[in-house]
Amino acid sequence: MTLKSMTGFARTDGAYEEIRWFWEMRSVNGRSLDLRLRLPAGLERLEAPVRALCQERLVRGNCTISLGVKREAGQMEIRLNEAALGEALGVAERAQTVTGFAPATLDTLLAMRGVVEIAEPEESEEQREALSKALMAGLSDGLDQLVAARTAEGARLADVIETQIATVESLVSQARKAMARQPELMTARLREQIARLDEAGASLDPERLHQEGLLLAAKADIQEELDRLIAHVAAARELIASGEPAGRKLEFLAQEFNREANTTCSKAADIEISRIGLELKSVIDQLREQVQNIE
């Protein structure tokens, strides 16, 4: 069983020189592959390669890929913007003259925006390339974990789906056995109806009765529906064993399962077939819910 779920989570952490980083990845169900990237300012250059790598590993799902980066505090450079400090001091002195309040303290002036600047050390092109390479390697490791999580969940889903498919197969077998008794049941039912009409004094054409009997038998025949259900069972098992992303095809098959179950119920000529048809619809509804989680 190699089905993959579209639900998963992964996180990887790493470091390059004084920079620490982490990738966090979440994926849930989606009709196609929808990537939402959250990259820090200054690392926008990674968007294209990140998307390309994700598209290589993932086929479907709504995926959020987040990158967090933190530089060690000791590597930061704190600078005093003397021009901004001078302007702030001038404003404070004018405000003191107008209001008569105590002069502004140094703490207050330094806390004003733009007076103190925190600058990261400039990186060379080689350092940027090395950082990008380390980040992309971390992303690759995270995607491996995400795919592994989705594969593990897919294996659990495959067991559930295989059980549901086996249940459909068993119900079809029951319907085949019940169908073998249908001609006798229909004949007995027609004879009872004819007997009641005879008692009422109705004039009946034997040829017309024969034609009506054949028509009823044709309408109640569910052989084609049962054959198609068995064909769908075989197709579903082939998809599960194929190793290829099968979610969309399984969703389509589930719709076809449901179509045949509906027709079987509408053609049901007795209580037993009706019961089997309703059980088929119930398990197929459960099947449809599960295959929506498959990649």
Name residues whose C-beta falls within 8 Å of residue 247's C-beta, 6 or more positions apart in sequence: 6, 60, 291, 292, 293, 294, 295
Tokens of 200: 């009422």
Does pLDDT of 105 surpass 90? no
Q: Looking at the 3D structure of the chain, how many domains does it have? A: 3
**Same-domain pairing of 158 and 275:** yes
Question: What is the spatial distance between Cα 251 and Cα 161, in angstroms, rounded to a whole number?
Answer: 12
Any idea which of 63-67, 96-100, 122-126, 211-215 has the lowest mean pLDDT? 211-215
Q: Which domain holds residue 106?
A: 77-119
HEC-encoded secondary structure of 247-291 = HHHHHHHHHHHHHHHHHHHHHCCCHHHHHHHHHHHHHHHHHHHHH
Kindly give the residue spans of alpha helices, DSSP state H, lying in the chain. Answer: 47-57, 82-99, 106-111, 125-179, 182-199, 206-220, 223-242, 247-267, 271-291
Q: Give the closest residue to 33 by CA, choosing from 11, 68, 65, 1.
A: 65
> What interhelical angle do 125-179 and 47-57 show, nearest 10?
30
**Same-domain pairing of 36 and 90:** no
pLDDT on residue 185: 65
**Same-domain pairing of 193 and 243:** yes
Question: What is the spatial distance between Cα 47 and Cα 39, in angstroms, rounded to a whole number?
Answer: 8
Does pLDDT of 202 surpass 70? no
pLDDT on residue 215: 57
Asked, for residue 128, whether it belongs to a domain, the answer is yes
**Same-domain pairing of 98 and 30:** no
**Same-domain pairing of 65 and 198:** no
Find out whether 143 and 10 touch, Cβ atoms under 8 Å: yes
Task: Output 287 or 222, whichever has higher pLDDT.
Answer: 287
Find out whether 33 and 59 touch, Cβ atoms under 8 Å: yes
Find out whether 278 and 265 touch, Cβ atoms under 8 Å: yes
Arithmetic mean of pLDDT, 223-246: 90
pTM of the model: 0.70
Asked, for residue 3, whether it belongs to a domain, the answer is no
Residue 228: pLDDT band (50, 70, 90) is very high
The letter for the amino acid at 99 is T
Question: What is the spatial distance between Cα 177 and Cα 198, in angstroms, rounded to a whole number?
Answer: 33
Tokens of 245: 């992303």
12: left (phi over 0), alpha (psi -120 to 50) or beta: beta
**Same-domain pairing of 167 and 36:** no
Question: What is the spatial distance between Cα 256 and Cα 246, in angstroms, rounded to a whole number?
Answer: 15
pLDDT on residue 289: 93
Hunting for tokens 């600078």 — which residue is that? 79
Give the bridge partners for 11, in sequence order: 24
Any idea which of 106-110, 201-205, 222-226, 290-294 has the lowest mean pLDDT? 201-205
Which CATH number characterizes residue 64's domain?
Answer: 3.30.230
Which CATH number characterizes residue 274's domain?
Answer: 1.20.140
Q: Give the closest residue to 271 by CA, choosing from 188, 180, 175, 190.
A: 175
